[in-house]
Amino acid sequence: MFKNVVKKMAIGSAALMLTAGAANADLIEVNLYGASAQYSFWTNAAADFLADQGCASGDIYTLDTEVQSRDTGAAVCAGNTAVTINGGSLSGGGDGDGNTIVIRYTSKASYDGIRAVSESNNADWDADDCHTTTGNWGYRLQANLGNASVTGQVLSLPDAAASLSCQDVHIGASDVASETFSQSSSGQLEGPLGGGAFESQVIYPDDLPSMQVADGFQNIRPVVVPFGFFANNGEDGSYDAVPINSMTRLQAVSIFSGQIANWSEYDPSMDMRVVVCHRHAGSGTVATLNAAVFRGDAKLPIAEVTKAVADYYALFGQMVPEIYFNEGSSDMMRCVGQTKGAIGYADFDKCIPGTNCVSKGYGQIKRVYYPCCPDCRPDHSPFLTQKELVQNGIDSFWSAQWLYYSDAEPTATKTLITALGNYASVEANLPSSKADYWSSQNAMNYEKSTDFALPKKK
């Protein structure tokens, strides 16, 4: 969570209103969109970054909320150009030059971050209706600060459509390089729980725009994000937890390719159907699973298998797992935590079992450690931190986050984007909540030549 400065302020007071200031002060906005890891990072680090840019603590306002099942955040450094909010406006000293800085960070899927920043899309997709509203494919729904209320230094939005508005995307965040996407999926948007429209995404490498420097795009790879496996941990004694605490690569490939139908294959005393919670194609997380774990030895499922369908096959003696696809990482975690026999994957620190999985609304979740570690602690957890496993070439289920942006952005915007990337690249600037999990790129002892390659010693 953001480090909030305790300072009370009345909405509409003189302290909030626009005051005379430097004539050359600007409003600089940078909106990040795509992979959930960047949302998670800036949720924890945005306030400290703005302080690093010269903003006084009393001029920094932060928003951290999940709105309409979408991870949506924002931070403001109030300067001489006022930011309108519900019932007033925010102004202050800014970044030292009087500039007002607004950062928004919203997660959906890596693929959509790339599409947004490149202002391209499939003709049959409405891009959250923003294309209809703005006439531009580069806009996506993000925090509508005009409807935010403020208490002290904390901004909050109503849980309603008014909390989001179409904003230009300046950085497309992806868990993998754009050329790594080669997956497809067909199924409901929110797995077995939320239902929603039937989603059919077919994604091939040449369906994405080229994001190379020669095409007018730059990229930054400041941090390395580890992924992890999660399983249902039972529900109030009414049914048992998934009967594994760690997995070999063979087990991971077998389970997530749909080859294992019942958990009795790993625990003969248990008769419980396997429920596989996948992300929809376009997610950098599932692209990383395909590249870093499967590595061509099996194929990902492409079609949903509901409980009704699995029950039908069972009538004829054919056992199959249930398979669901989920639009966002939070949808994935709810699929795991609220479904008997379920297993899935997400950013390693998406929730910490026993600490905040339930409070986040995900349900009963436990971690399934990978790679299998029989000589570790009794619960199979390793003695090293996840960061150390990744940095030292023990765990390969990770990716370097890609932040894509266009050369065509205004100079002030590109300057702020560079500052964001430089800040995130410093190991000491990783938020304390990420310290045992993430690594800056510069601190890695191993690296991957491509997303599909095994890490090699630098």
Task: Please give the share of the chain, as a percent, with pLDDT higher than 90.
Answer: 66
Same domain, 254 and 355: yes
**Cα–Cα distance for residue pair 32/436, rounded to 1 Å:** 24
Query: Distance between CA atoms of 255 and 167, rounded to whole angstroms?
Result: 39
pLDDT tens-digit series, residues 42-68: 999 999 999 999 999 999 999 977 765
Give residue 16's pLDDT. Answer: 33
One domain, residues 137 and 273 = no
Same domain, 124 and 111: yes
pTM (two decimals): 0.82
Q: Regarding predicted confidence, which is higher, 160 or 9?
A: 160
Contact status, residue 331 vs residue 192, Cβ threshold 8 Å? no
274: CATH: 3.40.190.10
For residue 132, how many other CB atoms are within 10 A of its CB? 10
Q: What pLDDT is attached to residue 447?
A: 93
Interhelix angle 36-52/411-424, rounded to 10 degrees, is 100
Picking from 297, 285, 230, 298, the residue whose alpha carbon sits closest to that of residue 399 is: 285
Sign of CA dihedral 332, 227, 342, 333: negative
Of 391, 413, 446, the residue at which a domain comes to its end is 391
Q: Which of the pair, 17 or 33, is modelled with greater confidence?
A: 33
* 191 within some domain: no
pLDDT tens per residue, range 366-407? 999 998 776 777 777 788 889 999 999 999 999 999 999 999
DSSP state for residue 209 in the 8-state scheme? P
Token digits of residue 128: 């959250």
CA atoms within 13 A of residue 439's CA, in its CB half-sphere: 23
Same domain, 273 and 312: yes
Question: Predicted confidence band at 186 (pLDDT cuts at 50, 70, 90)?
Answer: confident
Residue 198 has pLDDT above 90, yes or no: no
Q: Of the residues 338, 359, 391, which one is the last residue of a structural domain? A: 391
Indicate whether 425 and 278 sit together in one domain: no
Contact (CB, 8 A) for 194 and 361:
no
Has residue 195 been placed in a domain? no
Residue 226, strand partner residues: 398
Q: Which range is least confidently modeled, 205-209, 211-215, 321-325, 420-424? A: 205-209
Do 368 and 415 sit in the same domain of this protein?
A: no
- Which residue, 318, 287, 364, is CA-closest to 111? 287
- Whether residue 164 sits in one domain with residue 24: yes
What mean pLDDT is predicted for residues 324-347?
Answer: 94
Dihedral (CA of 36, 37, 41, 44) sign: positive
CA distances from 36 to 28, 318, 361, 382, 453 (A): 23, 37, 17, 25, 23
Does 294 map to a domain? Answer: yes
Report the C-alpha gap between 390 and 380 in whole angstroms: 17
The count of domains in the chain is 2
The last residue of a domain, from among 344, 371, 391 = 391
pLDDT at 423 over 60: yes
Average pLDDT over all residues of the chain: 87
pLDDT in the model for residue 126: 57
Q: How distant is the alpha carbon of residue 342 from its chain centre? A: 20
For 447, which DSSP code?
E
CA 423 – CA 131 distance, rounded (Å): 32
Tell me the torsion sign for CA atoms 344, 350, 355, 358.
negative
Is 415 inside a domain boundary?
yes
62, two tokens:
């932060």
Query: Per the domain annotation, does 108 fall within a domain?
Result: yes
> Of the candidates 218, 216, 226, 222, which has an alpha carbon nearest to the alpha carbon of residue 347?
226
Residue 284 counted as domain residue: yes
Residue 21 has pLDDT above 50, yes or no: no
Element (H, E) at 182: none
110 lies in the same domain as 80:
yes
Find the angle CA(263)-CA(268)-CA(269) to the nearest 5 degrees.
Answer: 100
Q: What is the structure's pLDDT at 223? A: 95
Q: Which domain holds residue 319?
A: 226-391
Same domain membership, residue 434 and residue 292: no
Instruction: Say which range, 195-199, 388-392, 435-439, has the weakest mean pLDDT.
Output: 195-199
Average pLDDT value for residue range 345-367:
93
Q: Are residues 121 and 260 in the same domain?
A: no
Q: Is residue 279 one of the residues assigned to a domain?
A: yes
pLDDT in tens, 74-132: 999 999 999 999 989 999 999 989 999 999 999 888 888 998 999 876 555 556 678 88
